[in-house]
Amino acid sequence: MAGCAASIALARKGRRVTLIEREAAPRHKVCGEFLSGEALDDLRLLGIDVASLGAVPIDHVRLSAAKRAAEAPLPFPAASLTRKALDTALIAEAIHAGVRVERGRSVQALSRTESGMWQATLNDGATREAPTVFLATGKHDLRGYARPEDPQRWVAFKMYFRLAPAQAAELAHASELMLYPGGYGGIQPVEGGIANLCSVVQQKYLARAGNRWESFLAKMQQDCPHLAMRLAGAEPLLAKPIAVTHIPYGYIRATTEKGLYCIGDQAAVIPSFTGDGISIALHTARCAVAAYLAAESAPLFQASLRTALLAQMRLAGLAADGLNNSFARAVLPFCLRVWPGVMRVTAKLTRVAQNAGVAPIQLPAEI
């Protein structure tokens, strides 16, 4: 997401960009696939029309916990689209913009040459050199650039379902969020008439369900009858769920090296429940490109980005922690009143100064 966004913006400014993506083709990723108004704005700027890709408009949110549920309109336009479809469109746009895309090759290491260039060593031993690197490996850390451990040991799952017709009609244009002991989850429609169930849970709670998806799914439904109702008669569409671990929620990178701009989840990891990581990925990419074009050094950029995101990250963290406890589950209707407001505020706070004050400068030829 962030890597494509940055490379498209740079290529459109005439820079020579190579995008190295380890997957040979877009695939399903663990993600709730909720696109906030902010994310939609950024995608539009990149030339991505999510409606033409079949995105489902989302206009309200339902929050449920134990036997309670409440509903509120979303304070901004939103949509839902599979990451596979979105990533496919972004890669196509990058190629169209003139980015040299190398797919199915992963960067194993980043180092400095004697002449001060960055050197990326690929999985087949080949190397690529450039004066500037945008590090956008998402949840996956490069050796030497690892983010801290995730103390809560989150595990996230995603599974697609074909819901029973009556349940699909009920879900329609809603994003439904569930709170349960040790985590939270969301179900929402995506293109193709199917629904995405995405959930995160702390490892210790997963262990209580025998570390098995089937038992965990059953436990979620037991703790959250609303989910049990939605999934009654539903058909799972993947042979097994997609899973990911090591999600250092709340992390913000404070420092970096000269010529190395860290963006997306490599810059900041906002709690999925209250924040919107795709928007942050696109936003940090846009800010990094603006900083680069303005000849702002990477360390200065990273420090300013951290300052700009700090309040939002703290707010999102507090909201996620606040909602994920038994008291919050008990006072759910109040939580629901607060939650869209929190989303609106966090979305607004994501908007840090954009391309303001960019001065014309001499640019290096290759990135």
Closest to ligand FAD by CB, 44 vs 334, is: 44
Give the other-Cβ count within 10 Å of 31's Cβ: 21
Give the other-Cβ count within 10 Å of 271's Cβ: 23
Q: Does 150 bind ligand FAD (CB under 6 A)?
A: no
What's the rounded Cα separation, in Å, for the pair 302 and 40? 24
Backbone angles phi, psi at 296, to 5 degrees: -80, 130
Question: In the stretch 177-206, what mask flags binding to ligand FAD with x, by CB under 6 A?
Answer: ---------------------x-x------
User: How near is the Cβ of 133 to ligand FAD at its closest, in Å?
Assistant: 11
Q: What does the DSSP 8-state code read for residue 344?
A: H
User: How near is the Cβ of 208 to ligand FAD at its closest, in Å?
Assistant: 19
Closest to ligand FAD by CB, 11 vs 136, is: 136
Here the tokens at position 206 are: 């997963």
* Residue the block writes with tokens 């459109």: 12
User: How near is the Cβ of 140 to ligand FAD at its closest, in Å?
Assistant: 4
Of 156, 324, 348, 181, the C-alpha closest to 248 is 156
What's the rounded Cα separation, in Å, for the pair 199 and 221? 12
Q: Does 2 bind ligand FAD (CB under 6 A)?
A: yes
Q: Does 176 bind ligand FAD (CB under 6 A)?
A: no
What ranges in 16-140 are assigned the alpha helix state H? 37-45, 83-97
Task: Give the gyration radius of the chain's Cα atoms.
Answer: 21
Here the tokens at position 240 are: 């097994």
Task: List the one residue from 276, 290, 296, 328 that touches ligand FAD (CB under 6 A).
Answer: 276
Q: What does the DSSP 8-state code read for residue 296?
A: -
The window from 25-33, 160-168, 202-210, 335-343 that contacts ligand FAD (CB under 6 A) reads 25-33
Site for ligand FAD in 311-350 (CB under 6 A): none
Task: List the one residue from 82, 152, 256, 279 that touches ligand FAD (CB under 6 A).
Answer: 279
What's the rounded Cα separation, in Å, for the pair 112 and 114? 7
E-assigned strands of 68-148?
68-80, 100-103, 107-112, 118-122, 127-130, 133-135
Number of H helices, E strands in the chain: 11, 16
Q: Does 42 bind ligand FAD (CB under 6 A)?
A: no
The window from 14-22, 46-54, 90-98, 350-358 that contacts ligand FAD (CB under 6 A) reads 14-22
The window from 65-73, 272-280, 287-295, 350-358 that contacts ligand FAD (CB under 6 A) reads 272-280
Site for ligand FAD in 45-84 (CB under 6 A): none
Task: List the one residue from 33, 93, 150, 296 that touches ligand FAD (CB under 6 A).
Answer: 33
Q: Does 38 bind ligand FAD (CB under 6 A)?
A: no
Summarize as ranges the residues that interact with ligand FAD (CB under 6 A): 1-3, 20-23, 30-34, 39, 106-107, 136-140, 142, 156, 198, 200, 247, 264-265, 272, 276-279, 281
